[in-house]
Amino acid sequence: MVESEAFLEGQDYLCNFYRYKLYDKETKHYLLTTDDGAFSFLSSSAFRQLRRGKIQDKEIFEQLVSRGLILTSDNISHVVAKTAQRYAFLSNGTSLHIVIPTSRCNLGCSYCFASPDRIDADREKTDLTPETALKIIDFIMSSPAKAATIEFQGGEALARFDLLQLMTKRARELNLVAKKVLRITLVTNLVLMTESMAAWLIDNDVSICTSFDGPKQVHDKNRVVRLKERDDIGTYDTVSRWIFKLQNMYKERGLSGEVGAIMTTSRYSLPYYKEIIDEYIAHNLSVIDLRSLTYVGEATKKEHADLLYEQGEFIEFYKKALAYLRELNERGNPIFDRLERMFETKVLENKPTYHADYESPCGAATGQITYHSNGDIYTCHEALGRDEFKIGNVYGDSWRDIFGKPQTAKAILNSMLEQNVLCDRCVYKPYCGTCMVENFYHFKKFHYYPTKTFKHHETQFHANRLFDSVFEDVKRAL
């Protein structure tokens, strides 16, 4: 103790802001986290020393310095840099631009958050005009951000493939001067895909992503062509055929790309975690996104209540799926879940991995915006068509106008965990996020109750799992 006291005498430091909780009652260890994502486990004795501002142990002092829980002249620049890196997405500018060529769709998916118009709806009311399509691209390419991802969604974007081609060509031309890191993607249900469309998309470096819910009995339960005078037609066979076809087309051209696929978990999915993963492997897909249902749009309607489940039911499904993925990994199959990988990187490696749903504020406006078929601008795709989230129009507003509007500021503030006292006090706050649109649908107001949201439970699950593994090492060292 004499050596420690001699070392600490005259040490000048400040206590960093941190959140904490008693992590293990048996050993009386606390978990502490900082805003830049760093964490540390402290014994009750060490925690008392930190709280009182009288650190008496050299080893504890060095641990706290290394973790950035206390700030000295030696580490403050590093902590500032890590915090700036963590929140760099706020200074990068809006980079994801979701464009809706048409709000018409040929499917009638039971959980669709976009609530699209029927495919035979009046095009004058649902589709971009060529003039507005070009105006949107001009607006996107005038943004101050150094990167731009233009993502065509819907509706079903392939219903207006001509507009997709027109806008892609315009963006490439403008980027000869703008010199942005430009990426163009298409989210499609694949049902309207043709050989010539597929060839044009791949040859023009337009990434392709589709929805794929797993085996036929699950996929066809949710994702169907709705007809007026006939039974619904499932889309599994068409989607499966096109995934295989597109994967082969990439390979034939010597390209390393692959079809992106996302699945949505409905109640019908819960018993089929193995079959869903096996389908992805069978289709040569290396990444799976085991997403919970987004409570927006069609999923909120009474006739689709049978799709819903409690948070605990999803977590149980997710646990089983991750265990199966680990089993497959041990056998040599590298498939992984995107969200699990993101949390591992954020928590264990303390590296930023931007995901709009798990940031504070979320990506609404700051990371992404969505352009409707009339040129209206919304904070995100989930917000499409709701006046509460409309922030402008490409004909009447500039980038400066959009970010000077009170409704944009309101959207950003309402997606900040710091605005909710329960979230702001939570030790897992640096790794979590919320969806203000989903909250608005669920609670009928912007204020939300975190323990009733899926984001809260998913973050709790991942954080507990990862911190438990770290704490095992701490206990072994006791």
Residue type (1 letter), 24: D
Give the pLDDT of residue 378: 97
- Shortest CA distance to 214 belongs to which of 233, 193, 236? 236
Q: By mean pLDDT, which of 11-20, 47-56, 226-235 is the weakest? A: 226-235
| Residue 354 in this model has a pLDDT that exceeds 90 | no
| Residue 6 in this model has a pLDDT that exceeds 60 | no
- Shortest CA distance to 261 belongs to which of 307, 324, 207, 299? 207
Query: Which runs of consecutive H residues, i.e. helices, occur in 99-189?
Result: 123-126, 130-141, 161-178
pLDDT digits (tens, 9 = 90+) for 48-87: 999 998 888 889 999 999 999 999 999 999 999 999 999 9
| Residue 447 in this model has a pLDDT that exceeds 90 | no
Q: Name the pLDDT band for 9 (thresholds 50, 70, 90).
A: low
Residue type (1 letter), 297: G
Neighbour count for residue 76 (Cβ, 10 Å): 15
**How far lies 72's CA from each of 19, 37, 55, 187, 371, in Å?**
19, 18, 13, 49, 47
Give the pLDDT of residue 204: 97
Give the pLDDT of residue 1: 47
| C-alpha to C-alpha distance for 139 and 55, rounded to whole angstroms | 55
The string of DSSP letters for 269-305 reads: GGGGHHHHHHHHHHTT--EE-EEEPP-SGGGGSGGGG
| Residue 318 in this model has a pLDDT that exceeds 60 | yes
| Residue 160 in this model has a pLDDT that exceeds 60 | yes
Give the pLDDT of residue 230: 66
Whole-number average pLDDT of the chain: 93
Give the pLDDT of residue 16: 96
| C-alpha to C-alpha distance for 464 and 418, rounded to whole angstroms | 21
pTM to 2 decimal places: 0.93
DSSP 116: P
| C-alpha to C-alpha distance for 399 and 377, rounded to whole angstroms | 11
From the CA atom positions of the chain, what is the Rg in Å? Answer: 25
The whole-number average pLDDT for the span 121-136 is 96
Residues 6+ apart with CB under 8 A from 456: 432, 434, 450
| Residue 156 in this model has a pLDDT that exceeds 50 | yes
